[in-house]
A and B are shown apart, each in its own frame.
Chain A
């Protein structure tokens, strides 16, 4: 065998290891869309507050009427669905272009690793809702989401862990500024996603 073949062997080995252990089709654009959805959602929430006679940047933010909480929960769910759906569309498109399967053992492992901290965080937030501790919800979601990203790093592009660290730090930081959840949410889920998405899109085009 010639040296050239050994070179090919090595790159074959590398790509097989990479392909079989990491899900690499996650599209940067889906991050951008998710971020935009979050920002639009946050702006909408701001106007909902205004309609209810609450000036978000002034005064007490610790009490919300039950109907308002319901509406906010609904808006949050819509944003989440838009983000997840657009993420799926862009990622499926990228997978197809690369000739990779979107649903295989690696994806499954990725989703499970991602889902465990996220579900724990979700239940935690439901408990906070139940106890009417609304101001704690934003920090909690940011922290648990960051933890989920850091733990999912093993099965996808390693760069997601940096996004994860940023979300955790932001979440911890926001614990000291309770009541500014909407602002921290916009930064964490909006701006960070857009920045991350653009960097990824450029890096892995």
Chain B
């Protein structure tokens, strides 16, 4: 019996999967780097990252470098666990 409800709804979008994947293997990643890696628009990244922040899966840091604002992301312990469970569920679903 496949338990589809084990899959985390928060990670359904491709962009969120991408953000989480990048953060799983990196420390702080800044906005423009993330944007370049995922090849998405500013607005797209901003809305998905704030959703992930709301569910406390990622941490957002805003700071100024000179006069420019810089936003960076990092995965939280909570997010790491949730994403790992999501991956496990995905793999089970695919019968690996």
Contact = CB atoms under 8 A, between A and B. Distances in A.
Q: Please indicate which of the listed interface residues A9, A10, A12, A20 has the most CB atoms of chain B within 10 Å of its own CB.
A: A20
A6 B86 CA distance: 11
Contacts of B17: 9, 12-13, 16
Contact of B24 (A3, A17, A19): A17
A21 interface: yes
Contacts of B29: 20, 105
A21 B12 CA distance: 23
Interface residues of B, number: 20
B25 A20 contact: yes
Contact of A20 (B14, B37, B94): B37
B93 A6 contact: yes
Contacts of B25: 17, 20-21
Nearest to A20: B22
A101 B17 CA distance: 21
B36 A9 contact: no
A131 interface: no
A7 interface: yes
A3 B93 contact: yes
B21 A10 contact: no
A16 B26 contact: no
Contact of B21 (A6, A12, A101): A12
B91 A10 contact: yes
Interface in B19-66: 20-22, 24-26, 29, 33, 36-38
Given A1-B12, A7-B94, 16 more contacts: A3-B94, A6-B90, A10-B87, A12-B14, A12-B18, A12-B21, A13-B18, A13-B21, A13-B87, A14-B21, A16-B21, A17-B21, A17-B24, A19-B37, A20-B22, A20-B26
Chain B at the A interface: SS class: helix
Contacts of B33: 104-105
Interface in A9-36: 9-10, 12-14, 16-17, 19-21
A19 B33 CA distance: 12
Interface string A95-126: 00000010011000000000000000000000
Contacts of A20: 21-22, 25-26, 29, 37
A16 B18 contact: yes
A35 B54 CA distance: 53
What 8 A-B pairs are tightest by C-beta distance, nearest first? A16-B21, A21-B25, A20-B22, A13-B21, A17-B25, A17-B21, A16-B18, A20-B37
